[in-house]
Amino acid sequence: MIKFIEQEPYSPIAHTYEVEKILHKEKSKFQELTVIQNPFFGRMLLLDGIVQITDRDELFYHEIITQIVMHAHPEPKRVVVIGGGDGGVVKEVLKHKSVEKVYFVEIDEAVIRVSKEFFPSVSEKVDDPKVEIKVMDGAEFVRSVKNIDITIVDSTDVIGFARTLFTKEFFDNVKNSMNSNGMFVTHTESLHFHKDIVIEMQENLKKVFPVVDLYTQCIATYPGNWWAFAVGTSGLDPRVMRHPFEIETKYYDDEIHERLFVTKKFYKKLINRELKW
């Protein structure tokens, strides 16, 4: 059987996956897209040779990047999703009846198209009437919008070509696009391999958002398997749920919500750079 070796560009590690079939390969204006079939994970979407989602474990990422802020916000109505061309985050957002509008901002139309073809159940909601698809740079989009309740960045690696989505200038624009209960979440790599990036992201967010926090989730296919998510809010504590858990999920629920956050003692030591590993 052919093997695909994912040499992690930013972590000292490589993963090897069996390839039953290469289902798709193309070069878009921005990146190389590949879809392979693996006996365990099912279909896998690779962007520039990096695993983004798999049939089997996408839910652990999509539920968790989305549902924490969606439940911490009192009534999310207007949501911006940046990246996430596979539609997994959009699907999670639309589980909430309060949502009236989703701006789905993906720079690469090829990711949306290929996901619709090969991951139809992940991208099943991208053509919902509440969704407005914008094929453009998310950093540019946030400058033109107002009254947003939640902004979710579901990009490729923070260190790669998505780095404009992690600058203070971008965070300022996100903050300005939000109403008074606004919340922002983004993934920030692995605590095992990118401790400094995780800390830096918290520091940058703190320059802009009054409340900043950190939670993590295990993801089978990302380096270190211990993936970090940074939240910034206009004042509300994201550890608190502000409406009941009433949607259907496989993993996220009201018991896990607060448990996913790192402890306050650990957070303090981490941010003060007291921890060495």
Select the residue interacting with ligand AG3 from 141, 222, 252, 261 (CB under 6 A).
222
CB of 39 to ligand AG3, least distance (A): 20
Count of residues in contact with ligand AG3, rule CB under 6 A: 15
Q: Is 147 helix (H, G, I), strand (E, B) or coil?
A: coil
CB of 244 to ligand AG3, least distance (A): 27
Backbone conformation region of residue 147, classed left if phi is above 0, alpha if psi is from -120 to 50, else beta: left
Residue 3: enclosing H or E segment and its boundaries?
Answer: strand 2-7
CA 265, CA 268: separation in Å to the nearest integer?
5
Q: What x/- string results for residues 60 through 79 when contact with ligand AG3 is judged by CB under 6 A?
A: -x------------------
Q: With contacts defined by CB under 6 A, name the span among 28-36, 81-89, 94-102, 264-272 that binds ligand AG3.
A: 81-89
Strand partners, 178: 148
CA 18, CA 4: separation in Å to the nearest integer?
6
Positive or negative, the CA dihedral 277, 255, 217, 3 is positive
53 is an interface residue for ligand AG3 by CB under 6 A:
yes
Q: With contacts defined by CB under 6 A, name the span among 24-32, 82-90, 167-175, 210-218 that binds ligand AG3.
A: 82-90
102: how many CB neighbours lie within 10 A of its CB? 24
Select the residue interacting with ligand AG3 from 57, 86, 108, 149 (CB under 6 A).
86
CA 24, CA 261: separation in Å to the nearest integer?
37
Task: Please give the structure tokens belonging to residue 21.
Answer: 């079939």
Nearer to ligand AG3, 76 or 87 (CB): 87
CB of 162 to ligand AG3, least distance (A): 9
CA 48, CA 176: separation in Å to the nearest integer?
33
Specify the pairing of strand 101-105 against strand 131-134.
parallel
Select the residue interacting with ligand AG3 from 73, 78, 175, 187 (CB under 6 A).
187
Q: What x/- string results for residues 150 through 179 when contact with ligand AG3 is judged by CB under 6 A?
A: ----x-xx----------------------
End-to-end CA distance of the chain: 37
Catalytic choice (154, 157, 237, 254): 154
154 tagged catalytic: yes
CB of 51 to ligand AG3, least distance (A): 5
Q: Which of these, 2, 4, 39, 33, lies nearest to 117 by C-alpha position?
A: 33
CB of 50 to ligand AG3, least distance (A): 5
Q: What φ, ψ does residue 38 adopt, rounded to 5°? A: -115, 145
Q: Which of these, 211, 205, 206, lies nearest to 234 by C-alpha position?
A: 211
Q: Is 197 helix (H, G, I), strand (E, B) or coil?
A: helix
Nearer to ligand AG3, 83 or 232 (CB): 83
Select the residue interacting with ligand AG3 from 138, 223, 232, 238 (CB under 6 A).
223
CB of 83 to ligand AG3, least distance (A): 7
Which residues are annotated as catalytic? 154
Binding site for ligand AG3 (CB under 6 A): 8, 50-53, 61, 84, 86, 88, 154, 156-157, 187, 222-223
